[in-house]
Amino acid sequence: IAGGAGGAGSMQGAGCGGGGGGSGGYIGLEAPTVTISGDLSANGGGGGGGAAINGFSSNGTDGRTGTDPAAGGAPSQSCGVAGAPGGTVGLGGGSVVGVDACGGGGAGGGAGYILIWSQDYSAMGATISPAPLRDLP
């Protein structure tokens, strides 16, 4: 896995928005034969939640294996906007939706890249996210 880190939530007393999730990384495989049988992921991290000045919010989760997006962090209990999910199959991370008088949630990190250069490639039963780019010049 080359997942992005989850964005930081707002600390108590800060009254600010959550941090954006980190983008997924890069995985490059080059060999005459490439066989993938497990999970191979370069997903983005979820954005941190926003909070009021007297509250705090949760961090977004790190990019995970599989095709499920990393969750954004929860806002504070009094007000704030939740962080957006990280990117997986599509390259873009989630956008934050909502208007609030308190801190906004951080955007999700975009998905990374998986590149495979091989004459003999197979991925039977594998979970790969995002979809790999093949044999680029």
Tens digits of per-residue pLDDT, 38-86?
999 999 999 999 888 888 899 999 999 998 999 999 998 877 888 888 8
Residue 137 belongs to a domain: no
Inside any domain, residue 101: yes
Q: State yes or no: pLDDT of 129 exceeds 70.
A: yes
4-8, 9-13, 58-62: which has the minimum mean pLDDT?
Answer: 9-13
28 in any annotated domain: yes
Task: Render pLDDT for 91-111 as a digit per residue (tens, 0 to 9).
Answer: 677 777 666 667 888 889 999
Q: Tell me if 95 is assigned to some domain.
A: yes
**Is residue 49 domain-resident?**
yes
* Residue matched to tokens 């707002």: 10
63 lies in some domain = yes
Q: Are 105 and 72 in contact (CB under 8 A)?
A: yes
> What whole-number distance in Å separates Cα of residue 89 and Cα of residue 102?
31
Question: In which domain, by residue range, is 113 found?
Answer: 1-132
* Domain-located, residue 116: yes
The pTM of this model reads 0.87
3-state class percentages of the chain: helix first, strand second, coil last, to nearest 5 = 0, 20, 80
- Provide the domain count of the chain: 1
At residue 94, the pLDDT reads: 72
Is 9 within a domain?
A: yes
